[in-house]
Structure 1
Amino acid sequence: MKAGQSSPRFTEFSSTVRYRSAEQCAEDVASALSRAKVVTVRGVPEEVDHGRFYHRLASRLGDFHFKNEDAETASLESDGWLDIRYDPAAVDQSLYRYGNTRMPLHIDGAYTDVEFDIFFFYCVRQARFGGATVVADGTDVYDYLEAFDPALFQRLLTTKVLFEKGGKRRISTILFYDQGTPSFNWSSTRVSAGNPPEVIEMARRFAEFCEHQIVDGGLAEPVLLAPGEAVFMHNRPVLHGRNSFFGERCLLKGVLRFAPDAAAADRDGQIPAEAAR
């Protein structure tokens, strides 16, 4: 066991929850997230109000931050879902949020001071072709990188990097262990130009490794969501991205601080009108 490690928190990489009822789903998802890094929710009926269902589910999993981030400033002043949708008119504002190209592997909020450990998407509209979310197990990424380029692996564990978006800034190593679990603070598009040249070059090499060795090597698994389905992830132990697509596509995103015991509490009265989409 390497320095910085302890007993792993997770016993499996991914798990699937099949909808049985709104009441049971929160307990099933909480149980799955207690052991798995990625949890997919399947089989939610069409007649269910998906916005309200997922708002209530997320609220029962812990402290749900129901905030819509400004695409340019990263401010969180308005309540609501964060929409990830194809909008050609808004691509210049945010290429990956509103575009249809492949999205590089990253975590969410590499630049933010908002504390959350789970994020999720639920699908409103599935693209006609493509558009799967891709997920890579951090343990596999660490093992591959340590074998492929041990010097880069060590530098990523020890070199601090400035990430920023709008007025948000965060300084962290790209790789670190959290309770024994390989974890990341990583987004290639948020590496600040204010970093020293050698740090920017180190980040470029890691981005290249992720895309050419992990994605092109087939180690990032696709998760394709149909309308009403969702995927929940422990943010930092997993890298995620997106396949390119054609056609309309819309996912709505939320983030939360996970509290497994919260699923037993009923928070039916805490669903704002903005949750319905």
Structure 2
Amino acid sequence: MSTPQPPTPQAAPDWHAAPGSPYPVYTSPIPVVRAGLRHAVASEWTKMRSLRSTMWTLGVFVLLVVGIGLLTGAVVASSSTDVATSNPLEQGFFGVLLGSIAVITLGVLTTSSEYGSGMIRTTMVACPSRSRVLAAKSIVFFLVAFVVTLVSSACVAVVHAALLEGQTSGPTGEQWFKATVGVALYVALLGLLSLAVGSLVRHSAGAITLMIGAVLAPLVVALFMFSKSLENVQQALFEYSIPNQLSIFYSNSLSDSGPSGLDPLWIMLGVTAVALGAAFALLEKRDV
């Protein structure tokens, strides 16, 4: 039987006098690690996954995208309408459009909720670099929104392709890409735009109202423009409204002109970059 060994003595704190001072200075034996973006990202990921609002909002998003997508696919598959020339994945548009409201809400809450509760002060004390905090929030949110949207839209696309297999020609590679990866990137960028607006406005209800208005108002206003002198304005509102740009990924645009292909993705990327740039600039100038 081996004789138990005595515990290894821990290193004693290093007390020494600073040059020119008679008082000792304490040096901790615990190594000090300089915080960086990786630590800020880990902190924001912990906050996001531990909040009930995140789980509820993402749950509603998945329910809308998958539930409405499967419902519309089942209705089209059971109807006698000839859909042989249409994109078999286009029925996923309705669920993604409604689900985008949930992503907008989560994007706004990612930044504005901390201002409402006052926790932003604690966050900025823990990480004095304000731009690093906003960058970490943006990275974590974008990745979460992209992955959840990609998985949800891909599930709906697979089911639609199976349901309509006998009624339509199989979807092309471009249609698969646009209905899954393209849609996921667009929705994630839309949520990131909401995050930037939440940082600018710093008020949850106000920022959510602004974003929902930006999504729905152009299309609603265009529907009530009956004057011939406003035809060009009406056409522009139709073409560049977010519902129409989202529908382009499913090959069922509301107009025959305007953005096509992956153009909506580049438009949303540019708008989001401008909004994020403004959010970074104002964050450094305003009080917390």
| TM-score between the two structures when normalised by the length of structure 2 | 0.25
The structure having more radius of gyration, on CA atoms, is 2
Q: Give 1 or 2: higher strand fraction.
A: 1
Q: Per chain length, whose mean CA-contact separation is higher, i.e. which structure has more relative contact order (CA < 8 Å, sep 6+)?
A: 1
Q: Give 1 or 2: higher helix fraction.
A: 2
| TM-score between the two structures when normalised by the length of structure 1 | 0.25
